[in-house]
Each structure stands twice: as structure tokens, then as C-alpha cells.
A and B are shown apart, each in its own frame.
Chain A
Amino acid sequence: MKYSTTILFIILIVFVPLSSIIIPDSDSSKILNSNLVADPFNANVDGDDKSFANLFSNFDNYVEDQIILHEQIFKFKYQLDYITGKKNTTPYYYIPELNISYQYDKYDGQTSDDLMSVDQVCKENEVDFMLYVAPSKRNSIPDKYIKEDYLQYPKEVRQKLIEDKLAEFECVSTVFNPDVLLLNDYYPYEHHYNSKGVYKVYVDLINEYNNLYNTNIEVVDLNELEEITVSNTNYVNPLFVDDVEDFTTEFIVEGKDSGRNTSPYDRISYPREGEFTNESGTDDVLIITDSYGQAMNSYLTENFHYIKSLNFYDIASDANIIDKELSDHDYDRVIVYIYDINLLIGSH
């Protein structure tokens, strides 16, 4: 027993590299790895840079992908995270050529079920339900959808998934533009430090709203909004440095009215949930979206008479919240905006 850790250690450091050479990849691994660095000695990470540093970097990537039972290890780690309560942690494979992230199954289809409930409640209260689906920068796909038939048509995989799912919402006024969904760079700046992406979503949403309900709402001119300059980027996550030019001329998107303020991001470019009124608007809407979608609130408040903004997670935590809202206020429409397909297809 005394040397058992040492024996295991030796077996591990000898067996793992040998096995990755000897044991062939599984079919699914082949599919997943086919787009990763195939040959570390010929592939370049940074353009034409064939330096030693690049070679070493490629080798690191290569060996990480060649580890035996790679997929099983990821699944195990995911289960471990789930058991220990890290519900927001998700392991990803990024598959560059498909421009999607491969994400292991999450644990419920809560949002999908919630949407069906919202649909039902709206019908009972005779309120229009508009489901607006738009693409996003985040393209993760749960593993149950990563099948060869999808991988054969990688560019259509997200569209296909959404179309399949939307078929379940036949009676809902669903706004879904499959063409823009395929444009991976359509909303490239969506993160909590920049709301430009969501402005584009907002413009599309208002246009679709006008089409659906024969209204004539004018979109807010972006130039009329107050512009702020962020002089100190020291505290910006390096992840966003690439977008720094857009970051430095960001637009204030905080809600005009005070609401719940539970997020640590609230003070950056994060909107607040809450109620907003504007006498010049006509329609009263209940909007349900997530944190990114709430960035639209400051634009929407310019267009609607009354807005109540809820987060998806409010619905998840209180099944009766929609019912209560519709009883308390006479809404014209309920708008659900989804940009992350995982919210729709049930991985979140």
C-alpha cells in the first residue's frame, strides 16, 4: 500500500501518452478533433508565424486534444461540477470550422417548458405572445444535438435546431430570421461591457413588432443617446480587449427607473429589471429576457407606454409570476426575447 500513489502516478504518466498513440480515437472524438489542430508541426496559431513559440503552443494544444478518454473526462468533470453545485460552469470544446462550441448536456429543459407555460397563460389572458429569436455571439450546442447528421451540415445546425423547436410554438407569433442566424458576425459585440449588439437586436425587434401588430413605432436614433467615454481600461477583462475600440465609446444602458440591483455587473453597462413608463408611447408590454436582452430596456422605454422587464430566471423561480403580472396589469403584449439558442432548446 505504501507505494500505491507512486505506482499509479508512474502508470499514469507512462500510460497516458502511450495510449494516445496506440489507441485509436472514438468516432465522436474523430469528429470533434477533426477540426482541431491536426498536426502541431505544420499548423500555425498566429498567421504565418512558424517560430518555436508557435510550435510549442501548437504542441500544447495538440497533446491536450489527444489525451485518452478526453470526452469521458470532460463529461466526468461536468458531472463533478454539477454535483458540487457549480451550475454555471460548462465545459466547452470550440470547433473553429463549425464556429460552434460543443457543450455537454445540461440538466434541464426549464426555459423551453417555461415558454410553453407563458404561451398558455397568455392565451388564457388573451394577450399577444411574441417570441423573438435572434442570433448571438455565443453559439454553444448541447452534445445531444451534436450528431453526425448535424455535423454534415454544420452551418445550418443552429438554424435546424431552432426551427425544430419553434415548431412546438405554432400558435405563437414567432419572429425568427434564419438568414441572420447564419451570420456569425451579426452581433459580435454582445457582452456586458458593450451594448452595441443589442441595439441592432432592438432595431430588428421593433421592425418585426411593427410588422406583426401593424404599429408604426420609430426606432430610437442611436446618436440621440448619451455617449460616455471610458478612459481607464485597466479593469477590463483581457477577453474584451479586442473590442476595446467599441468599449471606449459605450452607451449608457442602465434602466431609467430603479429596480432590483442584484448583479455585480449592474454598474457597468448592465440594465436593471423594473418598471418603466413613457407617456408618449401607447402599448404596454411585458418583456422577458435575460441579462443581455435587458440591455434593450433603455431603448424600449422610449417606444412603449409601459414596460415591465423580467428575467428568465424569475420565471424559473416562480411559476406563477406571469399569471400574477397579467392579472395586475393590462398588457397588450408579452415579448420573450431569446438570443442564446440554448435557452430555447433547453440546455439552460
Chain B
Amino acid sequence: MLFNSVTFLFYFFPIFLIFYFSTRGIYRNLVLLLFSIFFYMWGDVSYVLLFVFSMVISFIGGLLIDKFKDSKYHFWILMFFISIHAIMFFKLKYLSFVVTALNSIVNSNVSVQDTILPIGISFYTFQIISYLIDVYNNKTKVQHNFIIYGSYISMFSQLIAGPIIRYEEIEDDLINNKFNLERFNKGVHLFVQGLFLKVVLADSFSFVITEIQKVNPNDQYVTLLWLMVILYTLQIFLDFNGYSKMARGLGNMMGYEFAMNFNFPYSATSVSDFWRRWHMTLTRWFKDYVYIPLGGSRGSYLKTFRNILVVWLFTGIWHGAGYTFIIWGLWNFIWIYAEKEMKFLQRLPKIVGNIYTILVVMIGWVFFMSPDISYSIDVISGLFLGNGTGFYTPWALGFVKQYKFELLIALMYSYNLFGGIEAKLYDRSMSIVVELTHIFMLFISVIYIVTQTASPFLYFNF
């Protein structure tokens, strides 16, 4: 069930709110847990038992890690429970890819049954691991009540696409949840913004991208290839940011405050700056649970190199089991490491720095969006070297003309030219203009939702 579906917006969510706010204390958590499991079932019935198993086993893991905190086995208990989740995650997401890769290397023919990736497994597995490590490190208190813990892991608002929330961030709200009108109001505004970004802007670009992708990139016009990459660059941001905003908005409505996931990344002036603004909760997770435990940048030159490389390899494969994602991770590593070594790249004039960043990021998205490496190479060579088909076709201008309003709004939003509307949500004297704009956005979004079959969320498969 997607947030931008009729079923969620007009049936699931209102019914949930009625039950949620008519209960208190632990019963409210129970409502959240049951509705979240039902929400998960709607999208993926086959893996609901695995999902519940993950919650139960990690709950037990947290209790045991806490119970044996003075034991010499403390570390190994942590490793045991992390391993359970890591193995499940690996088997379901990477085993098929790894076996296929090994088959091609050693020329064998080992077969593995293809599995469908459980929805949201990358997100909830990371939340579980962060909880277990934080309990181990005494950074958070262990939760003794399964209903409260289960409602944290399964919370439908961020279950399938993040943000990746730490237990300690919402512990107080989980235990003592109260209706907060101000927070609810802010949540509605965030949700409406996210809905608009997703259904009106991102999904519109998806149509054009699909049309352009129908043709092999070797046979495609250069202008259409550029248009495809530019639109994908906008689409992935608007889609993911839109969904994250909806998640945060829903969280606010339920009385929670989730961490921001995006901070206008396309206005970044370096690749490092971009990654401080893009999918911030994932970047933070890798920094805290991989980069720093490995030693961060405090070790030798080689160790720092290794640590950054490991983080970006993991970041790449977290997004998908495929060579294209590995290359995408390495592509980011190269530029981030280059910026670390050549400081001038981070001190370029703002406009130059932004153009350089956008170009690097856009080429990265080519790998990200491609079904295989040869497709990526075809697109990139077409973009910069051209191909035999030609440069310009009136179709390119035709597409731009058709989506001129969406493009204009998307570009202005991406560069934060609307003056930080989100910041104004915290302003008690919220202006009439902001209210009217959000009412208009809600109205238009509902029109789009009703007239379109819900478009799958891009980050669904990660």
C-alpha cells in the first residue's frame, strides 16, 4: 500500500487515526503495531511472517544483549543477533546475485532459487541493527515491552522507505505518546508537500523517461538522452524526498518527530556536500555504524582510504544487488575521496561547484537507473560523444513544452527557490499564502491520485 493510493489515503489512514486517537498508552502502541502489520501485509503477504520473526528475534536479542552486558559473551551475543539479520538480509537480497557472479567467474552452474525482495527489508533491517548496537553500547535503554518495540520497528509511516529512525530518537514518544495539535498540523503540511512532489511532479517525469527509454540508447537522439538523465535526476529526488516528507508528515500526525532525510541536495556545491544533504539518515547510519567503528579518518592514510571505500561499496550495494549499484558506489567514492585529497574541489565558487556536483551526480544516476553496465556506457557515451542517430529531435522540445510547468516548479523546488516553505511550518504566524498553496497542492494531488493508478515508489526495491 502506497501513501499516494486511494486505499491508504481514504480508507486505511482515516480508520487508523480513529483507532489510534481513541486509545491511550500501550493500547495506542498496539493499534500502531497491528495496523502496521496489516499495512505490510497489503504490500507483501508472503513475507509478513518473516517480518514478524525479525521483530521478535531482535526484541529477544535486545533483551539478551542488555542482560549479559557484563558477561564476556556480551560482544558475541550482539554478533549472533546481528548475524541472524545480516544473513536473512544477504540471502534475500544478494545471494542470487553473488552466486550468479561466482558462476561466471569460476565457470560453474550453481543455481539459486530467485526470491522476491521483501518490501522495506533494507530499511527495517538497518533499524534493527542500529537498535541492537545502541543497546550494546548503552546508548539507548533496552525496551522490555514487545508492543512498544514492535511499534517502533513496524511503524508503517517509515516502514517501507525510511527515514531510518533510531530508537532513542522516538523512545519518549513511543512510551508516552500524546496528541499534539501543532505537530499534527505540521504533519499535514509536510504530507501534502510530499504528496505533491511525488504524484504531481515525480510521476509526470516518469512518463517521459519511460517513453525515452523505449529506444535503445545507441539509437536515441542525444537531446533525448540528456532530457532523460535530467528528468531522472529530478524524478528520483522528488520521488524519494516526496515519500520521505509524507513519512515524516504521517509521523508528526501520530505524534512523532522523524529526522530529516533531504536538505535540498541539488543546491550542494560539492559531492561531499551533496551526500550531507541526500538520504541523510542512511548516510548517518553508515557513518555511525560502519565508518566510525572502522576507525574513521583517524588512522593511517591507507586505513582512511579503506574505510571510505568500504562505506561507499556498502552504500552502493545497499541500493541493489547489481554491478551498476557497485559502480555507482565507487563513482561516489572516487569523487568524495578526490575532494578529501584535493580540497580546492570543495572550495570552488558556488555556481561552478554546483555545476560540477550536478554533473557528477547525474552521471552517477545513469549507473543507478541502468539495467546493466553496457546500458550505462551507451547512455554516457551518447551524452558526451553522441551517436549515429543525431543530436536534436523536435520530440525533446515537445516533451519539455508538455511538462514545462512541472519542470519549472521542480527546478525551483530543487534549488530551494520557494524560500524555505518548510521552515515556515514552524512559524506560528503561518502565512495565508502558505496555507492557500498547500490547499491547492492537496487539491491537485488528490485529482492526480484519483486519475492515476498509483505509481510504484522508486525506492521500493531497495
| B-contacting residues, A28-66, CB 8 Å | 51-53, 56, 59-60, 63-64
B398 nearest CB neighbor, chain A only: A88
Confirm or deny: B6 has a beta carbon within 8 angstroms of a beta carbon on chain A.
yes
Measured CA separation A91–B393 after assembly (Å): 27
Contact A2 B185 (CB under 8 A): yes
Measured CA separation A77–B452 after assembly (Å): 10
Interface bracket on A: 35 or more
Residues of chain B within 8 A of A2, CB atoms compared: 185, 428, 430, 435
Measured CA separation A12–B212 after assembly (Å): 37
Contact B447 A12 (CB under 8 A): no
Q: Pick the residue among B7, B13, B372, B395 that contacts A263 (CB under 8 A).
A: B395
Stretch at the interface among A78-86, A155-163, A212-220, A277-285: A78-86
Residues of chain A within 8 A of B447, CB atoms compared: 73, 76-77, 80
A5 nearest CB neighbor, chain B only: B438
Contact A268 B390 (CB under 8 A): no
Residues of chain A within 8 A of B7, CB atoms compared: 59-60, 63-64
6 nearest A-B pairs in the assembled complex, by CB-CB distance? A267-B219, A77-B451, A5-B438, A6-B188, A52-B45, A13-B14
Contact B439 A264 (CB under 8 A): no
Confirm or deny: A167 has a beta carbon within 8 angstroms of a beta carbon on chain B.
no
Contact B5 A16 (CB under 8 A): no
Confirm or deny: A152 has a beta carbon within 8 angstroms of a beta carbon on chain B.
no
Contact B439 A262 (CB under 8 A): no
Contact A63 B220 (CB under 8 A): no
Confirm or deny: B432 has a beta carbon within 8 angstroms of a beta carbon on chain A.
yes
Confirm or deny: A209 has a beta carbon within 8 angstroms of a beta carbon on chain B.
no
Residues of chain B within 8 A of A14, CB atoms compared: 14
Contact with B along A78-105 (1 / 0, CB 8 A): 0010001111110100000000000000
With A12-B442, A84-B405 as known contacts, state yes or no: A63 contacts B11, CB within 8 Å: yes
Residues of chain B within 8 A of A6, CB atoms compared: 184-185, 188-189
A-B contact pairs, 7 of them (CB 8 A): A5-B192, A8-B439, A13-B17, A64-B450, A67-B450, A87-B402, A263-B395
B392 nearest CB neighbor, chain A only: A262
Q: Pick the residue among A8, A84, A88, A265 that contacts B215 (CB under 8 A).
A: A265
Contact B451 A4 (CB under 8 A): no
| B-contacting residues, A89-126, CB 8 Å | 89, 91
B224 nearest CB neighbor, chain A only: A264
Contact B435 A13 (CB under 8 A): no
| A-contacting residues, B2-17, CB 8 Å | 5-7, 9-11, 13-14, 17
Measured CA separation A84–B401 after assembly (Å): 9
Measured CA separation A16–B188 after assembly (Å): 17
Sample of 6 further A-B pairs with CB below 8 A, known A86-B402, A264-B395: A5-B439, A59-B7, A64-B7, A73-B451, A89-B402, A262-B393
Confirm or deny: A211 has a beta carbon within 8 angstroms of a beta carbon on chain B.
no
With A70-B450, A85-B404 as known contacts, state yes or no: A17 contacts B394, CB within 8 Å: no
Q: Pick the residue among B212, B438, B453 that contacts A264 (CB under 8 A).
A: B212
Confirm or deny: A1 has a beta carbon within 8 angstroms of a beta carbon on chain B.
yes
With A5-B192, A12-B442, A267-B215 as known contacts, state yes or no: A60 contacts B5, CB within 8 Å: yes
With A53-B45, A264-B393, A267-B389 as known contacts, state yes or no: A4 contacts B10, CB within 8 Å: no
Measured CA separation A89–B7 after assembly (Å): 25
Measured CA separation A225–B454 after assembly (Å): 42
Measured CA separation A268–B189 after assembly (Å): 46
| B-contacting residues, A228-245, CB 8 Å | 234-237
Residues of chain B within 8 A of A73, CB atoms compared: 446-447, 450-451
Confirm or deny: B76 has a beta carbon within 8 angstroms of a beta carbon on chain A.
no
With A9-B188, A17-B11, A60-B6 as known contacts, state yes or no: A264 contacts B210, CB within 8 Å: no
Residues of chain A within 8 A of B395, CB atoms compared: 262-264
Contact with A along B368-405 (1 / 0, CB 8 A): 00011001000000000000011001110000011111
Residues of chain A within 8 A of B214, CB atoms compared: 192, 235-237, 264-265, 268
Contact B393 A77 (CB under 8 A): no
Contact with A along B434-452 (1 / 0, CB 8 A): 0100110010101110110
| A-contacting residues, B65-103, CB 8 Å | none
Confirm or deny: A74 has a beta carbon within 8 angstroms of a beta carbon on chain B.
yes
Confirm or deny: A320 has a beta carbon within 8 angstroms of a beta carbon on chain B.
no
Measured CA separation A216–B2 after assembly (Å): 60
Which one of B210, B389, B435, B450 has the highest number of Cβ atoms from chain A below 10 Å of its Cβ? B450
Confirm or deny: A177 has a beta carbon within 8 angstroms of a beta carbon on chain B.
no
Confirm or deny: A261 has a beta carbon within 8 angstroms of a beta carbon on chain B.
yes
Contact B188 A13 (CB under 8 A): no
| A-contacting residues, B389-429, CB 8 Å | 389-390, 393-395, 401-405, 428
Measured CA separation A83–B453 after assembly (Å): 22
Residues of chain A within 8 A of B215, CB atoms compared: 235, 264-265, 267-268
Which one of B432, B444, B451 has the highest number of Cβ atoms from chain A below 10 Å of its Cβ? B451
Measured CA separation A89–B406 after assembly (Å): 15
Contact with A along B195-238 (1 / 0, CB 8 A): 00000000000000011111110011100100000000000000
Measured CA separation A333–B390 after assembly (Å): 35
A70 nearest CB neighbor, chain B only: B450
With A63-B6, A265-B214 as known contacts, state yes or no: A91 contacts B446, CB within 8 Å: no
With A64-B450, A234-B375, A264-B214 as known contacts, state yes or no: A13 contacts B13, CB within 8 Å: yes
Which one of A51, A56, A88, A89 has the highest number of Cβ atoms from chain B below 10 Å of its Cβ? A56
Confirm or deny: B344 has a beta carbon within 8 angstroms of a beta carbon on chain A.
no
Residues of chain A within 8 A of B453, CB atoms compared: 64
Contact A74 B42 (CB under 8 A): no
Contact A63 B10 (CB under 8 A): yes
A52 nearest CB neighbor, chain B only: B45
Contact A264 B220 (CB under 8 A): yes
Confirm or deny: B321 has a beta carbon within 8 angstroms of a beta carbon on chain A.
no
Q: Pick the residue among B42, B212, B451 that contacts A56 (CB under 8 A).
A: B42
Confirm or deny: B175 has a beta carbon within 8 angstroms of a beta carbon on chain A.
no
Measured CA separation A262–B389 after assembly (Å): 11
